[in-house]
Each structure stands twice: as structure tokens, then as C-alpha cells.
Amino acid sequence: MDAPWFAPDIEDEESEENTPEIIEGTRRYWKALLESGDILVVGQLNKKLVGRVFVNLSVRQSPRSAIKVDHPTGIIERLKVMIEHQGIGRALIKNAEEVIRSNGLSAAEIGVHESNERALNIYLEQGYNELITQHHERSATFEGFMTFRYQRPTSVLFKYLL
């Protein structure tokens, strides 16, 4: 069973889809991610949240990783931009890459739903190479629900950070 409250847009707390239960469940999930070592990178404009992304530094270094990599790799995930066409997503990616680099890792991974051609093109412009298509990967169970890093159809892209 998928967690019913993994709302991608809890920043918009007035959205009809974001009930108090969904918002609180998402906050608990994010807290669990941070407590497990993920790093949250936020974008602000005039003291208002305009974007966020999580960076996972440990999963690909595990022998149990679903994707085997030849360089220490950080995962850029859960990217959300509240104001589009302003370069916020690109800036968040650059900052996430710097977090990865500053933690001694030499490659970055990012996934995108294959129907999201705009994001896929942005990642390709940023120097990412599409290596895996139709990928599906579970994350840890949270509060009894399965969670997913990638749900099919997802393309996974990699970039070596020099």
C-alpha cells in the first residue's frame, strides 16, 4: 500500500488536496528523512520558500543499493519548485551538487518521471546523462507504508562532478 499522505505540494497548505492529516504526515516523513541523514536544501526569495530538494548521501554507497555505481554518488530527490521559469530548479540542483561534492562524493543521480520532458531536458542541459529507463525502486517503509524513491516509468540520470 502506498502512503496516502505523501503530498508533493504541502508548501501550498491552502490546496484542497492537502488536508491537515496529509500535511502532518508529510512533515513526519520529511523529519524521518532528515533524521536518517538526508540533507534538505531550500530556496528562498524575499523570505518566502520557493523551492526545496533533498540530498541523500548514503544509499548508493550501500552494498544493498538497487543501482550499482562506480563512483561515490549522492541522490538528488524530491525536487519541488513553487515558481517556475525563474531558474530556481537549476539553482537548487547546483546547490544540491555542491552538497554532494562537499561531502566527498564525485557523482550525482537524479530521477524524473518519463512524461516530464521539461525536467528531463533541464537535467540533460545541466550535464546529466540518462542511463536507466523504466526504473522502479522502493525506499524504506515509513509508518507501515511502502515508500518509493522512483516509480515506473522513471528515467535515472547521472552526472560526474569534477
pTM of the model: 0.83
- The domain 20-160: what is its CATH number? 3.40.630.30
Judging by beta carbons within 10 Å of its beta carbon (0-12, 13-18, 19+), is residue 82 exposed, middle or buried?
middle
Looking at per-residue pLDDT, the higher value among 65 and 11 belongs to 65
47-77: pLDDT as tens digits: 888 999 999 998 888 887 888 888 999 999 9
Confidence (pLDDT) at 101? 97
What are the pLDDT digits (tens) for 85-110? 889 999 999 999 999 999 999 999 99
Structural domain spans, the chain:
20-160
Q: Decide: 160 and 74 in contact? Cβ < 8 Å.
A: no
- ∠ CA 119-53-63, nearest 5°, is 95
